[in-house]
Amino acid sequence: MASFKIDGREIPFEPGDTVIRAAARAGIEIPHYCWHPGLSVAANCRMCLVELLPPPGRQALTLNVLRWDPEKREYVDEQKPKLVPACQQPVSEGMEIKNDTSPHVRRARSAVQELLLLNHPVDCPICDQAGECRLQDYWLEHQATAKRMHDEVIHKPKAVRFGPQIVYDAERCIVCTRCVRVSAELARDPVLSVSHRGNLDEIVVSPGRELDHPYSLMTEHVCPVGALTAQDFRFKARVWFLRSAQTICPGCATGCNAFLDYDPRTDTVYRHRPRENPTVNRHWMCDEGMLSYRRVGQDRILRGQIKGEEAVLGEVVRAAAKRLAKARERGALAGLLSAQHSQEDNYAVLALGRALGVRAWFVTGKADGAHDTILRHVDKNPNRAGVLALCPEATPVEGLALALEADEYIDLFALGGDLPDAALGRPFGRPKARIVLATHDGPLARRATVLLPAATWAEGQGTFVNAQGLAQVSERAVRPRGESLPAWRLVLLLASELGIELGWKKFGELGRALQGARGADPSAGTEPDTGVST
Amino acid sequence: MEEKNERRTEAKGGAAGLGPRKVVGTPVRRPERTIAVESYVPEVARGVGITLAHFLRNTKEYVSGQRPDPVLESVGEGINTLSYPEQRRPYPERFRGLHRLTRRADGSPRCVACLCCSTACPAQCIYIEPGEYPVGDGRRGYERFPKRFVIDEVRCVFCGLCVEACPCDAIRMDTGLHAPPYDSRDQFLFEKELLMSFPGRDGSYQTENPRHEPGDPTHPGIDRKRHQ
């Protein structure tokens, strides 16, 4: 493989690589604001300047500069090599780059950092970016001098509403244009642009428009400073109190990789952040997915119910088991799997249902929704492909409604409280027992005779298979709310009450059983992080 | 411990068969049992004499006004009695007492709910719920404010790190008060309103440090030159 040198170290590169990209892949971080691996190159922040050594036998391109000599107390003439931005410089074989070892680079970075902070309000205590701000990090790392400008800073508009999700603070902005490029290149809706020049520049929304495309939260996500803040996260928490769990977005069948940020002290979930995965979502997530973290607390079923009356979990499990035992005797039990739940939950329900002699399986989930060719999938369920792989004979829930009306089945054992609109209008027949394991309030949850509270994706580990057939593991972030338990654990309680041996008792054993049931398809795992910092 | 050691020595001695243990050290001298000692009378008279001497000296000092004031003067010779809580020794100037939240000129808290104090707090006794100013307030969008600000004064270790961490001079420990004894722990959870109701020892609810409200001509930028 072709290689070049950074500070004397051999770095391999691929054709078409820029210096910063090849360096990032090799684990060398060149400081940058405006460059983002998923966006085009702007090269306007000048933070990634590096020294490009001339080929052997050739003279370096230099500039005449004046340097202040503190001993002589006057400016002296000096030659300085012309530095190049690492984000824009294509790599070629045998090229030599000086990064941290060059005094010119260090001086340039310090100067750039000082320039970017000239008009900055330095309001870190009230800025939501504090703790994950590039300006803070690079100030500490690269700025050698204090601010030397004593004039009044330029005052610009603050707290400008860009759209339903985004608030803009022009004083904190360094005009790196990442947000402009996200809108133009990712969302293909060039609604943002830069107005004015020099000190007075700021980001503006096109007249008559709002920043309301379905990827508007990505502009906040890529903002390296606190200029763009999300209406949703603004003033809510300090990032240094948060921990991240590596989860899968439950919003649609794309299965975007996400970080779920939560406060471990209060067990509160605060936000989603996209997690890089080149084969699924690259660096991005849609607004809908970014806000889907709220489902942890919204419309939750926190306690079990028997015929609409809340009861303690033990009682609910006993009531459900009693009805399931009767249903087994009647022999007309229908099973319902949920595309909203993980493979483990579905497999557990499937195993218990088969032991109870379920005659037919159906799949439920959320109704189809808005979609595009960027990330958003029409199927708003994260695990439909997985459920169909587990139980290929399962049919859509609309068939169940018809069959129940025709009294084909007498009882129902269901996972998930959702019913798509098409099945909603149906009277749903008169099943004797409807045992429902649900996380959220929904049409089916409201019609349950016995309702068991299940945990959401954030409250337990689980595998989700996206539309591409990629099985991805989602970690647990917080403890289950209320009395809820992961659905597979509820199934385990039901099985022990019914005296059915399922062959597994722990999550690990369940995972192995699932592996055996699934065989080789679908088998792919999550892609590891590439480690490129954005 | 000693007993154990002794036993061990004895056991050892016993095993070695060395006979009775040798006593080390000087024996305590007992008073001789004379008639004067046995009757207790001279000793009682001596004790009464000491009490009487102190009583007379205190009375003399009290009557003649020579007695040092234990509150204002340091502890001197003789008896120094403080009638606490009516009389209290003043705390030193830099005493870290109960917290107070300082106010702005308009009476609202200076605090901007940045959570620096609760981050710095080693006892984790500060709970803050940040909020945004309502629409129409000039500070909306610039700053946030504490919707709730609670300090658990029982959990607090009075280290003063919150005061050091505050970028706005919004929290101070200069009230000169210490936590009063309550009968339940809930009462030590001091809410924002209570914390704002304490004045500093100079009687002021504000601080000498100027505060630049957004929009006023002294807002950051202009003053930097003068201060540097």
Separation between Cα atoms, residue A13 and residue B134, nearest integer Å: 54
| Banded pLDDT at A284 (limits 50, 70, 90) | very high
Q: What is the pLDDT of residue B91?
A: 84
List, in sequence order, every residue forming a beta bridge with A261; answer none if it has no partner.
A244, A271
Judged by CB atoms closer than 8 Å, whether chains meet at B228 and A150 is answered as: yes
Q: What is the pLDDT of residue B224?
A: 33
Q: How far does the CA of residue A393 sit from the closest CA of chain B (Å)?
A: 52
Q: Do A135 and A124 meet the contact criterion of CB atoms below 8 Å apart? A: no
Separation between Cα atoms, residue A244 and residue A222, nearest integer Å: 18
Q: Does the CB of B225 have a partner CB in chain A at under 8 Å?
A: yes
| Banded pLDDT at A518 (limits 50, 70, 90) | low
Q: Which of A151, A155, A238 sits opposite B115 (nearest CB)?
A: A238
Q: Which of B115, B167, B221 sits opposite A153 (nearest CB)?
A: B221
**At residue A95, does pLDDT exceed 50?**
yes
Strand A84-85 versus strand A166-168 pairing type: unpaired
SS3 B92: coil
Q: What is the pLDDT of residue A402?
A: 77
Q: Which of A126, A155, A235 sits opposite B131 (nearest CB)?
A: A235
Residues of A in contact with B164 (CB under 8 A): none
Separation between Cα atoms, residue A271 and residue A482, nearest integer Å: 21
Residues of B in contact with A130 (CB under 8 A): 114
**Angle (nearest 5°) at CA A238 between A276 and A277:** 5
**At residue B18, does pLDDT exceed 90?**
no
Judged by CB atoms closer than 8 Å, whether chains meet at A126 and B116 is answered as: no
**Average pLDDT for B70-97:** 73
**Looking at per-residue confidence, does B5 or B109 come out higher?**
B109
**At residue A276, does pLDDT exceed 70?**
yes
A422 half-sphere exposure, CB direction, 13 A CA radius: 12
Separation between Cα atoms, residue A381 and residue A466, nearest integer Å: 9
pLDDT, tens digit (0-9, with 9 covering 90-100), for A415-438: 988 887 666 656 666 677 889 999
Residues of B in contact with A131 (CB under 8 A): none
Judged by CB atoms closer than 8 Å, whether chains meet at B224 and A150 is answered as: yes
Judged by CB atoms closer than 8 Å, whether chains meet at B225 and A153 is answered as: no
| Banded pLDDT at A126 (limits 50, 70, 90) | confident
Range from A123-132, A143-152, B18-27 carrying the lowest mean pLDDT: B18-27
DSSP A390: H
Domains recognised in chain A with CATH numbers: 3-117 (3.10.20.740), 160-230 (3.30.70.20), 248-296 (2.20.25), 304-515 (3.40.50.740)
pLDDT, tens digit (0-9, with 9 covering 90-100), for B151-202: 999 999 999 999 999 988 999 999 998 888 899 999 999 999 999 999 999 9
**Average pLDDT for A400-423:** 80
Q: How far does the CA of residue A120 sit from the closest CA of chain B (Å)?
A: 10
Question: What's the maximum distance between 2 C-alpha atoms anywhere in chain A?
Answer: 101
- What is the Cα A274 distance to its own chain's centre? 3
Residues of B in contact with A125 (CB under 8 A): 112, 114, 116, 167-168
Q: Does the CB of B114 have a partner CB in chain A at under 8 Å?
A: yes
Kindly identify which residue of chain A lies nearest to residue B124, measuring between CA atoms.
A265
Q: What is the pLDDT of residue A137?
A: 95
Tell me how many residue pairs between chain A and chain B have CB atoms under 8 A apart.
46
Separation between Cα atoms, residue A274 and residue A534, nearest integer Å: 11
**At residue A198, does pLDDT exceed 70?**
yes
**At residue B5, does pLDDT exceed 70?**
no
Q: What is the pLDDT of residue A287?
A: 96
Q: Does the CB of B220 have a partner CB in chain A at under 8 Å?
A: yes
Judged by CB atoms closer than 8 Å, whether chains meet at A125 and B112 is answered as: yes
Judged by CB atoms closer than 8 Å, whether chains meet at B144 and A126 is answered as: yes
Residues of B in contact with A238 (CB under 8 A): 114-115, 119
Residues of B in contact with A159 (CB under 8 A): 140-142
Separation between Cα atoms, residue A46 and residue A85, nearest integer Å: 6
Range from A32-46, A514-528, B52-66 carrying the lowest mean pLDDT: A514-528
Could you give the residue ranges of the DSSP H alpha helices within A267-407? 287-290, 313-330, 343-355, 384-390, 397-405
Q: Which of B119, B141, B225 sits opposite A150 (nearest CB)?
A: B225
Q: Do A365 and A392 meet the contact criterion of CB atoms below 8 Å apart? A: no
**At residue A218, does pLDDT exceed 90?**
yes
Judged by CB atoms closer than 8 Å, whether chains meet at A241 and B220 is answered as: no
One-letter amino acid at A527 equals E
Q: What is the pLDDT of residue A151?
A: 79
**Rounded to two decimals, what is the model's pTM?**
0.82
Residues of A in contact with B113 (CB under 8 A): 126, 235
Two tokens at B147?
């919707």
Mutate: best of B115, B124, B140, B148, partner A, most A CBs <10 A? B115
Q: What percent of chain A has pLDDT over 90?
A: 76
Could you give the residue ranges of the DSSP H alpha helices within A341-486? 343-355, 384-390, 397-405, 421-424, 443-446
Q: What is the pLDDT of residue A422?
A: 61
SS3 A192: strand
Q: Does the CB of B150 have a partner CB in chain A at under 8 Å?
A: no
Residues of B in contact with A121 (CB under 8 A): 220
**Looking at per-residue confidence, does B11 or B151 come out higher?**
B151
Separation between Cα atoms, residue B14 and residue B74, nearest integer Å: 60
Q: Which of A123, A125, A155 sits opposite B116 (nearest CB)?
A: A125
Residues of B in contact with A153 (CB under 8 A): 220-221
| Banded pLDDT at A74 (limits 50, 70, 90) | very high
Kindly identify which residue of chain A lies nearest to residue B167, measuring between CA atoms.
A125
Mutate: best of A166, A172, A238, A240, partner B, most B CBs <10 A? A238
pLDDT, tens digit (0-9, with 9 covering 90-100), for A151-188: 778 888 888 899 999 999 999 999 999 999 999 999 99
Q: How far does the CA of residue B187 sit from the closest CA of chain A (Å)?
A: 22
**Average pLDDT for chain B:** 81
Judged by CB atoms closer than 8 Å, whether chains meet at B114 and A125 is answered as: yes
Q: Which of A121, A152, A159 sits opposite B140 (nearest CB)?
A: A159
Q: Does the CB of B143 have a partner CB in chain A at under 8 Å?
A: yes
| Banded pLDDT at A531 (limits 50, 70, 90) | very low
Kindly identify which residue of chain B lies nearest to residue A266, measuring between CA atoms.
B127
Kindly identify which residue of chain A lies nearest to residue B146, measuring between CA atoms.
A235
**Average pLDDT for chain A:** 90
Could you give the residue ranges of the DSSP H alpha helices within A196-310? 216-222, 287-290
Separation between Cα atoms, residue A329 and residue A298, nearest integer Å: 38
Q: Do A69 and A75 meet the contact criterion of CB atoms below 8 Å apart? A: yes
Residues of A in contact with B222 (CB under 8 A): 152
Q: How far does the CA of residue A213 sit from the closest CA of chain B (Å)?
A: 23
Q: How far does the CA of residue A28 sit from the closest CA of chain B (Å)?
A: 31
Judged by CB atoms closer than 8 Å, whether chains meet at A158 and B141 is answered as: yes
Q: Do B146 and B117 meet the contact criterion of CB atoms below 8 Å apart? A: no
**At residue A89, does pLDDT exceed 60?**
yes
Q: What is the pLDDT of residue A403?
A: 81
Separation between Cα atoms, residue A39 and residue A43, nearest integer Å: 12
**At residue B52, does pLDDT exceed 90?**
yes
